[in-house]
Structure 1
Amino acid sequence: MAALLDGSPALVGRTRDLETLTDLLDKRPSVALVAGEAGVGKTRLARELLRRSEFRADNLLLGACRPAHDPFPYGPVLDALRRTGGLDPLGPLSSVAGVLRPLLPEIADALPACPEPLPDRAAERHRQFRAIRELLAACGRALLVIDDLQWADPLTREVLRFVLADPPERLGVLLTYTDTELPPGGPLESPARIAVGVPTVRLRLRPLGAREVHTLTTSFLKKSTVDIEFTRKLHDRTAGIPFVIEETLRALTVSGAPVTDGAGGRMLDELAVPAPLREVMHARMAELPEPAAALARAAAVLGTPAEAGTIGALCGLRTGRLCAALTAAVRGGVLHEVIPDRYGFRHGFARAAVYESISPPEREQLHNKAIDILGTGENPPLAQLARHARAAGHLPEWLRYAEAAVERAVGEGQTSAALDVLQELLDGPLGAPDAERFAVRLSEIALRAHRPELIGTLRGVVDRGELGRIARGRIRLNLGLLLARLPGRLLRARAQVEQAVAELADRPDLAVRGYNLLAIPLEGLTPLVWHEHWMSEVDAVFPEIEDVELRLALRADRIASRAHIGDGTAWQEFERLPDTAPTAGERVQLARLWCNLADAQSWIGRLDRAAELLAGGTRMAEAAGALFVGSTAGGSRLRLDWVTGDWNGLAERAESTQQRYSDIGPVVADAQLVRGALAAVRGEFDAAQRLLRATGLAKPQGAVLPVALSAAGMLTRVLLATEDVRGAAEAAEHGLRLARRKGVWVWAAELLPAAARAYALAGRSPEAVAAVTEFAAGIAGLDAPFAHTSLVAARAVLLEAQAEHERAAEAFDEAGRGYLALPMPYPAAVSAEEAACCRLAAGVQGGVDGLRAAAEAYARLGAARDAGRCRYALRELGAWRPSRRGRRGYGDQLSPREREVAAMLACGRTNREIAEGLFLSPRTVEQHVTRVLRKLGLRSRTEVGKQAPQKAS
């Protein structure tokens, strides 16, 4: 059994809140009020705050309120003041402070003698308030922290209001409270009148988002990677509340659930309510009056947020009694207004804890009554009715409601909802025919969604061996299609599909979808001729297919696949298709076609088509509930933005997309390619090599080949930039070997010019000529403008290597015009620079102006290193042309060059690296860094990462 963990070693999602509190409470006097729901991390934030260096010299006075029927007056304040006994010395105290001797016997020796009690109780209480404030003032620079103020007694609230109205000048006050459990009037029962001029902040901590839950989980479990689907489900199940997340992870750790792989989500579904969460909910329920408790039990049976009237009808409460019960349940922290006018539980475990506390007879009665209440009306909630029917033991009604719920959800594009109901069906007491039918349906609908955890469900169904041959073949086929989406699973996927095709040998109308997968050429090193065999198998069966949706799916893949390999007839076939469809299934296939064809058009260089298709296909996918299609489109969007020069924020978007879709192989590959390309442009060559190699170059058997070949071209250029000519030639040779083995040369458009240059510089000119000749033959007659333009650029490289500089310059100009027409501005700028260098080598006019134009083109894109290289060459030529109006004055704003330096500082680059990246002298960089820090008002270069993006713009 795994040992219990102590909790997350890192504070997640609260950096800004922590900085805000630190900045405020470092001033004195000051007041901070931190609110949030139970478990959201208020106490943890306060604990982290007290560890900050800014408060190490402070006298820390800590108190916490406790839930109690008869709380001790001033309890948390007195707990805090007892700590003053360790202070030496205390500041001066008047005789008034003596009234605290009976309340603080631990520090009585430090207090004056106790004065005679006053006859008036109000006057005596006021004197106690004055004494408490005086003792706080005597503590010097101090920080008073009162936690869980919602449980404070009336006198504690009153004395805090007194102190806040005129706080001691060296006191900071931090109050935390659960705002969902407050008494009328707020945390202090009436508005706190904080003294005028005292810095004050009110924060409300929000639950963690999905990405923050992922970070918290990896930190808590001390794992480098955790299944992202698991953390998404964890976020949904816990509502992002840190306490609930950590208790859930503790329970899973004890159970031994493998949360680092796809099984974690399933274990989460089956996990019992962790004991601390159950105890919290039981305690809250025990505090409620019976009508409110009955309302909570009814809400637990309903299971989903509902209107107050619906919950009340289930437990027999109406009008005034219902309102009072609902108010008590909400104020008691049991029920929440989840969405406007809909009440339920904050997270799944809270609901489960209450549901488990209901006796079986009461549960059955409530479920039966729920069927009666929800079953009326024109559009009853079928999925809910199915769950109530099953819980009440009405199995025929359960099947009828559930099947209807699935088909309704599919028709409305609610793919995930349909899959949830199907999973519940397969987990239930089904007969063999029903189990077989629903398992097949689950496997079909799963193809529309991004739900990797379903692979385990389907594999379990197939392995149980209870299915007929045809059903098993259909499910296995869909399992293979799902596996093909995951990184590194291509060979397993094809094995499943080929086995399914054998099982469906006498049903080619069903097996054709397997033929179709095997016909798609994008991944792996299987030669194109093998895929073309399966394409012909699809074409042979296609006329016999009657299913309209399947026919459209097959046409979609045929069009996209043929477009990918440069077959111009694919676009003509696409133009003959309608852009709308009558059924939800057909609309899913249309969305898939548009997005996949957009990807193909982007690879061959039809970028205008790609952009239009991607925008339309994404809208179609969202409307049709084609969740997986919408996910994969994200990778195509990243790459399209890269090639068209839309680089603003692209690195961050690529990293975010890679994290979000870490289990979709093609999306990960696209994101790594774009991140590697941007790193190369920035001159971060080590990072660029790491990212580009990770795209599949090392394991091409399962790689997305267009991505891997493009990465090979970029890697070749990176190695040339580091003057590793031998390594560049090896990278180029590896890429060309992959293209040759696959037999799809249009995908090597990024690679060819770089390969030609690497071979030429390595003294392997015959191989350069052979590669260009082979590429030219491979793309002849194909619809691939990117490849044809790259062929022009590669031939220009050959001319340059033969010292035919004028002809090379003209060829580079032609390539640049071709790239701009696509439009692909970065290779266009590269071609412009190379043309200029050729003219300079030939000693003809136009070289200097061309180099200057290339520098400006690079600068417009944000390619600072490339622009710097051109400017450096101009300076070396003595051709740098300053403005006739003299240097522009930027005042306190950063100049363009200073923005480039600031951006590189923000990335952690050293002065030497900046000098190399911008082709400047170290002394010049030193001056730029000094000006950047001065203009941004910073003390060190490490602070630029926080400030530069805002001020540099």
Structure 2
Amino acid sequence: MKLVERDGSVLRLRTFFEECARGQGQHVLLDGPPGSGRTGLLLDLVRYAEQSGALVLRAEATPVEKTLPFGVLTQLFDSPGVPADMNALLAALSGLPDTPESHNEIHHAFRRLVGDGHPMVIAVDDLSAGDEPSLRCLSHLARRMKALPILLLVTDHAETHGTQPVLCAELYRQPAFHRIPVRPLTREGVHRLLAAELGEHAADRFAADFGDLSGGNLRLLHALIHDARAGSAPHQAYARELLRCVRRGEPEVLAVARALAVLGDSARPQHIARLTGLGTGTITGTLDTLTTAGLLDGTRFRHPTAARAIIDDLPVDQAGDLHRRAAELLHQDGAPATVVADRLARAGEAQESWECDVLREAARQLLAEGRAREAVDHLTMAEGSCREPTLRATVRAELADAQWQVNPFAAAGHLAPSVAAVLADRLGTREWTDVVRRLAWHGRADELARVLTHLKSRQIVAEKEEFRDLSTWLACTHPGLVHPTQPRVTADTRRFTTEPSLSAAAEVAGHLISGLGRDSLPRIHGIIGDFRWSGDSPWGGEACLLALLAQLYGGQAQQALDWCDKLLADPRCANTPAWQAALTAARAEACLRLGHLVQAAEQAEEALSLITPESWGVVIGLPLGTAITAAVRIGRLELAARHVNRPVPDALLQTRYGLHYLHARGEYASAAGRHRAALADFLLCGERIRAWGLGGAQIVPWCTSAAEAWLRLGNRDQAKWLLDEHLARLGGGDSPHRGLALRVAAALGPAGRRTKLLGEAADILSRHGGRYELALVLTELADAHTTAGERRSAQRVVRRAWHVAKSCGAERLCEQLLPEGNPAQLERSAATSLTMAERRVAGLAVVGYTNREIAAMLHVTPSTVEQHLTRVFRKLDVRRREDLPAELHARHPDTRLVG
């Protein structure tokens, strides 16, 4: 082993040996804590002495052999090189009495070994762990060896002499005594050792951390080096070596170490005293020893694996008892509930009533910090300790609330007993409001109706405001699940309650019911800003999610996206998977409405993967709707089909989240050419929105989508009637919804107004809408310019439309705009003189479809196809289909508006 920072000590030891060889007896103490390197120095001198021809007697004292009389001496006389005539003494040692006569006989044996003046080294490692008879004999020798060529070299920690303070001190008072202090390595020494063992690069990388973890203790350092070389579990050898260091000490060292491991950051000398029964002086000395040895930093182990190793070394029942006693004394001293509960959790079970109270309070604090998983563990233990029915019901409800944040599906297992507890009036306001929330989340309509009916019949004055707010929230988020006899309220009848987060959720719901106005959005923005990851109230998450969606419905997608980014970046978010999934779903919808299609698809997929489909409940409609719509617009219809075919809860379409899903399903059906199915979904959206009184929220653009579906089916009158009614409701503002409606209105109105309407739609969507919707409008605008003979304007707009579509990730639309995929080739393409409708017809004719087949595919009459082809032939100067350019063929013919 390479010795680092020990050159001076090595030189002194060799000097003492040389003096010994000249006939001057020497007594040397290598004084340092375990792991300081004192054994390494002893072995270095032993090797030097052996190479010099000296006789070396060596022994290693251990606590296990402390009760074995003459155990150390037996090792010494059993060393290699001891003459055979000593065998009789060696055999007799175990039976010798511990008397002055015996000590004198052993002294003469040592003198015989150096009878010819040959030097001898007696090396004893860890002297204070030796047996008393051996120490008395060595003390007897030390008093009489001044003129003998003997070097008595021992290692010990002079500050703590274990159970032999008098004997060790007597040895150290003898003539020719020399003390060489041995201390843990410095930071520079750690770096030098690592460089020698692992190389300079590794030394630069690990020196600081290894120095902190080892405190310069050589045993711990070599264990860390072993871990680094082996690539084993983090600090595995380190933990084993630290435990070995502790176990080699006196019994009080192990007792104090165990107390420190259990108490952790709460360890104080008075706590250790009460837990171990040791005196304050003993504890102070033991802490000093452990600190000097580099095992502790203050009253803390330097790495959690050390404490775990010490606790794991205990039998399970003893460890549990120690944890429970630690919890009790910390509780009595007023320690925080989370600190006490952590010890109770490690004990394995709660037994006393105060333990249940502590576990519940700790769970509330953990939820407030976003640590739901730990709260679930504490509440699970608390529930198991409750015997009183009402308290047990309350704790179970609290457990369900905490578990919902981690795994809503697992928490659903608590709903049946929670419903029974509500009906038996065993739950308080906070608990029953959360039971209602979870029933709604999972779409359990029958149980929800029973609970609401019961709560309404109780007529408890103190709970009227909470019930009113709860009803408002339900009317907005799960309107189809609310029994017709339940009160339907608006923002005007809202009240603030003792549950501020529920009140905030009701306030947002009221704004959505009554219609989002300019005054609504700043307040909604403030509600998001007030949100904190205090999981002790699930309504905070509900209010925040609803406010984010309100921003999306109100055309503030970028603001919603910014908020989602901020909230999801909070480290506490990952500790509550349910809210992390919901916020990721909101982020996906924001990306979709901004036209970031690829991001929307990725975020929706991520949201769906964060919790299981069963955990999503009816809220799955939000991410699923986004995933379907994004896939359709990107052009991945097979992916959209897989999402459409996923099973969803029966109650989904009775909720606002179902509107997202229903509209997305209609968009998929339209892209797949099933326009009647699409129309049915869009009209069902409208029917639900009107019946639920949510028309002012602009949740999905069902009216525009339905009008376009009517148009594709050839019913222009129905499309125009629906769209005119929609535009009248929107008024003359420049909302994104108006921009969407104007695109379809342009296809329905006079040809002379088409360019004007599409230009207005493009202006609105450029300022307020999503880029995908803008790309659609620009596509129609280019077609209008071409029809009007404005070729240069058409080319300019097509290029812009292509670039916008490309930036969205709308590859399907890009291919429809420019099948060649290169806008720079646009002006050199003969096909640019064609309108979009003519290009679609010509593209299908190029691959051999008949006029009747083309008409069926594009939902027009064969006569219309013939007219388009006549104009194509004239513009391209060809006489027959076979002469049409192959570049007209599009791999994905567009089946949108043709007129």
TM superposition shift of 1:400: 4.8
Q: Of 481, 498, 509, which residue of structure 1 is paired with 2:463?
A: 509
Is 2:664 aligned against 1:711?
yes
Corresponding residue number in structure 1 for 2:316: 357
CA distance in 1, matches of 2:708, 2:430: 50
Is 2:304 aligned against 1:343?
yes
Corresponding residue number in structure 2 for 1:660: 610
Instruction: Please tell me the residue identity of whatever aligns with 1:343.
Output: P
Per-residue CA shift, 1:290-331, capped at 9, x if unaligned?
9799789768966x8988999987567969978999999x9x
CA distance in 2, matches of 1:515, 1:371: 42
TM superposition shift of 1:502: 4.4
TM superposition shift of 1:430: 3.2
| Compared CA separation, residues 658 and 440, structure 1 to 2 (3 A) | closer
Instruction: Please tell me the residue identity of whatever aligns with 2:827.
Output: W
Corresponding residue number in structure 1 for 2:437: 481
Corresponding residue number in structure 1 for 2:511: 562
Does the Cα contact within 8 Å between 2:405 and 2:576 map onto a contact in 1? yes
Does the Cα contact within 8 Å between 2:436 and 2:451 map onto a contact in 1? yes
TM superposition shift of 1:659: 0.7
TM superposition shift of 1:597: 1.4
TM superposition shift of 1:840: 1.8
Equivalence map 1:205-220=2 (5 Å):
none
SS in 1 for 2:480: coil
Is 2:712 aligned against 1:761?
yes
SS in 2 for 1:427: helix
Is 2:726 aligned against 1:791?
no
CA distance in 1, matches of 2:225, 2:688: 77
| Compared CA separation, residues 289 and 636, structure 1 to 2 (3 A) | same
The alignment's C-alpha RMSD in Å is 5.8
Does the Cα contact within 8 Å between 1:485 and 1:665 map onto a contact in 2? yes
| Compared CA separation, residues 431 and 299, structure 1 to 2 (3 A) | farther
CA distance in 1, matches of 2:460, 2:783: 65
Does the Cα contact within 8 Å between 2:376 and 2:403 map onto a contact in 1? yes
CA distance in 1, matches of 2:508, 2:225: 69
5+ residue gaps in structure 1? 1-179, 193-201, 208-238, 242-280, 883-918, 926-953
CA distance in 2, matches of 1:785, 1:532: 36
| Compared CA separation, residues 522 and 429, structure 1 to 2 (3 A) | closer
Corresponding residue number in structure 2 for 1:827: 773
Corresponding residue number in structure 1 for 2:548: 598
CA distance in 2, matches of 1:467, 1:319: 59
Instruction: Please tell me the residue identity of whatever aligns with 2:611.
Output: Y
TM superposition shift of 1:685: 1.2
Corresponding residue number in structure 1 for 2:13: none
Does the Cα contact within 8 Å between 1:415 and 1:626 map onto a contact in 2? yes
TM superposition shift of 1:384: 2.6
Corresponding residue number in structure 1 for 2:384: 427
Corresponding residue number in structure 1 for 2:790: 844
Q: Of 619, 630, 634, which residue of structure 2 is paired with 1:678?
A: 630
Per-residue CA shift, 1:78-104, capped at 9, x if unaligned?
xxxxxxxxxxxxxxxxxxxxxxxxxxx
The normalised TM-score by structure 1 is: 0.51
Is 2:810 aligned against 1:863?
yes
Instruction: Please tell me the residue identity of whatever aligns with 2:470.
Output: N
Corresponding residue number in structure 2 for 1:69: none
TM superposition shift of 1:385: 7.1
Corresponding residue number in structure 2 for 1:931: none
CA distance in 2, matches of 1:553, 1:700: 23
Instruction: Please tell me the residue identity of whatever aligns with 1:426.
Output: E
Does the Cα contact within 8 Å between 2:345 and 2:378 map onto a contact in 1? no
Does the Cα contact within 8 Å between 1:682 and 1:864 map onto a contact in 2? yes
Is 2:580 aligned against 1:634?
no
TM superposition shift of 1:879: 3.9
Instruction: Please tell me the residue identity of whatever aligns with 2:506.
Output: D
TM superposition shift of 1:457: 3.5
Is 2:682 aligned against 1:735?
yes
CA distance in 2, matches of 1:355, 1:781: 76
| Compared CA separation, residues 630 and 342, structure 1 to 2 (3 A) | same
Does the Cα contact within 8 Å between 1:592 and 1:621 map onto a contact in 2? no
Instruction: Please tell me the residue identity of whatever aligns with 2:547.
Output: L
| Compared CA separation, residues 400 and 849, structure 1 to 2 (3 A) | closer
TM superposition shift of 1:857: 1.5
Q: Which one has a larger percent helix, Structure 1 or Structure 2? A: 2
TM superposition shift of 1:683: 2.3
CA distance in 1, matches of 2:794, 2:779: 9
Does the Cα contact within 8 Å between 1:556 and 1:589 map onto a contact in 2? yes
CA distance in 2, matches of 1:826, 1:766: 27
TM superposition shift of 1:854: 0.8
Does the Cα contact within 8 Å between 1:483 and 1:493 map onto a contact in 2? yes
CA distance in 1, matches of 2:345, 2:824: 82
Q: Of 800, 814, 821, which residue of structure 2 is paired with 1:853?
A: 800
TM superposition shift of 1:740: 1.5
Instruction: Please tell me the residue identity of whatever aligns with 2:723.
Output: V
Is 2:414 aligned against 1:457?
yes
Per-residue CA shift, 1:606-648, capped at 9, x if unaligned?
3244345545666899599987555422211111122223456
Per-residue CA shift, 1:12-61, capped at 9, x if unaligned?
xxxxxxxxxxxxxxxxxxxxxxxxxxxxxxxxxxxxxxxxxxxxxxxxxx
Corresponding residue number in structure 1 for 2:723: 772
Give aligned pairs, total: 602
Does the Cα contact within 8 Å between 2:541 and 2:579 map onto a contact in 1? yes
Corresponding residue number in structure 2 for 1:805: 751
CA distance in 2, matches of 1:565, 1:693: 35
| Compared CA separation, residues 601 and 797, structure 1 to 2 (3 A) | farther
| Compared CA separation, residues 485 and 749, structure 1 to 2 (3 A) | closer
Instruction: Please tell me the residue identity of whatever aligns with 1:661.
Output: I
The alignment-based identity, stated in percent, is 16
| Compared CA separation, residues 688 and 468, structure 1 to 2 (3 A) | closer
CA distance in 2, matches of 1:869, 1:499: 56
| Compared CA separation, residues 419 and 569, structure 1 to 2 (3 A) | farther
SS in 2 for 1:659: helix
Does the Cα contact within 8 Å between 1:645 and 1:861 map onto a contact in 2? yes
CA distance in 2, matches of 1:392, 1:700: 41
Instruction: Please tell me the residue identity of whatever aligns with 1:642.
Output: L
Does the Cα contact within 8 Å between 2:723 and 2:745 map onto a contact in 1? yes
Instruction: Please tell me the residue identity of whatever aligns with 1:872.
Output: P
CA distance in 1, matches of 2:519, 2:767: 22
| Compared CA separation, residues 805 and 323, structure 1 to 2 (3 A) | farther
Instruction: Please tell me the residue identity of whatever aligns with 1:808.
Output: R
CA distance in 2, matches of 1:789, 1:436: 53
Does the Cα contact within 8 Å between 1:480 and 1:494 map onto a contact in 2? yes
| Compared CA separation, residues 501 and 842, structure 1 to 2 (3 A) | farther
CA distance in 1, matches of 2:384, 2:396: 11
Segment drifting more, 403-412 vs 383-392: 383-392
The normalised TM-score by structure 2 is: 0.53
Does the Cα contact within 8 Å between 1:526 and 1:742 map onto a contact in 2? no
Per-residue CA shift, 1:545-581, capped at 9, x if unaligned?
6x4434x522432324533773327616827978659
Does the Cα contact within 8 Å between 2:802 and 2:823 map onto a contact in 1? no
